Amino acid sequence: MLSEPVKEIMTREVVTVSPDTPVSKALGIMEENGFHHLIVVDKKDGKEEYYLISMRDLLLASSTDEEVRSLMYKAHCIHEDTPVLDAVCEMLDSGQRAAPIVNNVGKMVGIITDYDIMARVARSKIMKDTKVTKIMTRNVITINENDSIGKARALMRDNNIGRLVVVDDEGNPVGMVTEVDILKKVFKPKRKMTAGDFKGEKVPRMGQPVKLIMNTPLITVDADATAADAARVMQEYDIRGVPVVKGKSLKGIITRLDIIKYIAELKKGAMIEIELHGTLDPEFKDLAERIIATEVKKMVKHAGKIHWIKITIKKDRDKGGVPYYRITTYVKTPNKLYVGEGRPKASLPNKLEAEGEDIAYVSEHERWEFIDVLKESLESVLRQLEADFDKYHPKHSGKLIKGQIPEEFNPEEFKKEE
């Protein structure tokens, strides 16, 4: 999932500004191009250093004549060959929504933004299989359409969010207002709002109803939609969050950041440390690794998170020199250590009739092939995980509600310790 290099989805033609660019000019460039971020290139001694500024930063400037150098911050750059999935994690860890893409000598060759990521996520198989209800925020903070713009701003500040769903008196969602809307339309509007436009009353700008600046009609996704659907809508309308509805009822909200965080969680979930202890015959290696990856997928679906997996292989030989295996699998989850064993089984006694003698029962060792023993060891753990999952999630027995992993599961290299 998202394994191609980030250069495959980056924007190659980058619009940049210099540190001495006035805020007014930078804002104009961003509004004209629909940008939320700009890269600032500072050339020193023949070298280029890269910085970032966001529209939010610029709109909070004390003066439109102020230079962007006072608002910019040093950008975390991502190498062009970094897999998209890793690039998403780097952006999240750095706290950025955009990042310059650089080559081997550190020269910028493009930019990656959350917009580009949404475009890629909309085509991702794992996101097409993930319901939006799995990722969305359920407790949505809303504001009535007749409440003041000042109240909307206070709610955003107090809850550290950038948008509010606007509802009517019946609680039905009718619009959306964002922090940028308030900054652009109220604090630094192209045409200033008059101090009291309705019924001749003089009302301060922040005291006017939020419905005057909200975005409407409201763009939504249905509760049955997938994360890929939500990403596609956000990309198409260039919005950063979309309410989730069922009929007229508001069920939640999903944002670009929610999707990016979910992708990062998938990355962490896929990087499970798997150690092999013991002797693994070369002819079994490829098949064994495929079986382990398949069974671990099933485990993660029920466990949600796995810290590590250890598989010990003990190879013995009987008196006739025929090899047989005993395999033990240890799976550590946040709450429990699971242990599963696979070993040769004794066959049902064979009935032998010897002429002139009584019937005798002889217990023969039925030696499983290595792969069969490995499967039994892994499946033993899986059965325990399934039992615990059903025990603690009886209403969702048999349904996947936590712990989904990418369609292309690639555990870390198996660590073999003899």
CATH number assigned to the domain comprising residue 219: 3.10.580.10
Beta-sheet strands, E only, within 114-209 = 142-144, 163-167, 173-178
Say yes or no to pLDDT of 375 above 80.
yes
**Apex 111 CA angle, 106 and 114, nearest 5:** 135
Per-residue pLDDT, averaged over 374-389, amounts to 90
- Would residue 88 count as lying in a domain? yes
Percent helix, strand and coil across the chain, each to the nearest 5: 35, 30, 35
- pTM for this prediction: 0.62
Q: From CA 162, how far away is CA 141, in angstroms rounded? A: 11
Predicted confidence at residue 362, as pLDDT, reads: 31
327 in Cβ contact with 314 (< 8 Å): yes
Q: Is residue 59 part of a domain?
A: yes
Phi, psi of 375, rounded to the nearest 5 degrees: -60, -45
How far apart (Å, rounded) are the C-alpha atoms in residues 117 and 106?
A: 22
Measured from the Cβ of residue 182, the count of other Cβ atoms closer than 10 Å reads: 20
The mean of the pLDDT values for the chain is: 82
300 lies in some domain: yes
Q: How many CA atoms lie within 13 A of 212 on its CB side?
A: 21
Token pair belonging to 5: 């290099």
Please give the tally of structural domains in the chain.
3
Q: Sort 241 into a burial class: Cβ within 10 Å, 0-12 / 13-18 / 19+.
A: buried
CA quadruple 400, 405, 256, 14: dihedral, nearest 10? -160
Rounded Cα–Cα distance for residues 326 and 332 (Å): 20
Structural domain includes residue 75: yes
Cα distance between residue 123 and residue 4, in whole Å = 13
For residues 294 and 412, state if they share a domain.
yes
Same domain, 291 and 392: yes
Domain boundaries, position 146: 132-263
Arithmetic mean of pLDDT, 191-203? 51
> pLDDT (tens digit, 9 = 90+) per residue, 256-298?
999 998 888 777 656 666 788 887 777 777 788 888 878 887 8
Place of tokens 């207002």: 177
Whether residues 161 and 282 fall in one domain: no
Of 234, 263, 292, which one is at a domain's C-terminal end? 263
pLDDT tier for residue 183 given thresholds of 50, 70 and 90: confident
Q: Are residues 281 and 395 in the same domain?
A: yes
User: What is the rounded CA–CA span in Å between residue 301 and residue 126?
Assistant: 13
Tokens 């079986």 map to which residue? 291
CA distances from 28 to 33, 190, 191 (A): 9, 11, 15
Q: What gap in Å lies between CA 46 and CA 196, rounded to an integer?
A: 54
**Residue 120 is assigned to a structural domain of this protein:** no
Query: What is the per-residue pLDDT for 345?
Result: 61
294 with 360, same domain?
A: yes
Report pLDDT digits (tens) over 75-90. Answer: 999 999 998 988 998 9
Q: In whole angstroms, how large is the CA radius of gyration of the chain?
A: 30
Residue 1 belongs to some domain of the structure: no
pLDDT digits (tens, 9 = 90+) for 141-163: 999 999 999 999 999 989 989 89
